[in-house]
Amino acid sequence: MSYDGPATVAGVPVRLRGSARFEPHDGRFHWTARIAPEPRIAALVRAGRREVTVVIAGRRAPARLGEVDPWGGVRLTGTGGPPWPAANVDGTPDLSGDSHSGRFG
């Protein structure tokens, strides 16, 4: 499941591109994303902040900021359901329930 669109990270509007996968070894979803270059997010990282909240269309998820890349983008990682809606097999958003449990089944 992937996402490419607007988000809010630590209260800052950003563009985010991410993907998630189910990891059978621990029974949870793991997701990563890249925040498009945004000076306010890069400043948070440089100041030592790592733990943030990501919000997409009212869905919230805790995440961890990575290092700033040479272009000013920042990697973001999380465990559990990602903040973007899951997609159905046909590619349409799955709005039927909560994907934040992070557990399969």
- The answer, yes or no, to whether residue 71 has pLDDT greater than 70, is yes
Rg of the chain over all Cα atoms, to the nearest angstrom = 14
pLDDT of residue 1: 74
pLDDT in tens, 54-67: 999 999 999 999 99
Count of the separate structural domains present in the chain = 1
Q: Go through 56-70 and write b for each residue having 16 or more CB atoms within 10 A of its CB, e for each that does not.
A: beebebebebbebee
Domain membership of residue 84 (yes or no) is no
- Calculate the CA 61 to chain-centre distance: 7
Per the structure, the complete domain to which residue 26 belongs is given by: 2-79
Question: What span, in angstroms and rounded, lies between the C-alpha atoms of 76 and 40?
Answer: 15
Domain membership of residue 43 (yes or no) is yes
pLDDT in tens, 35-49: 999 999 999 999 999
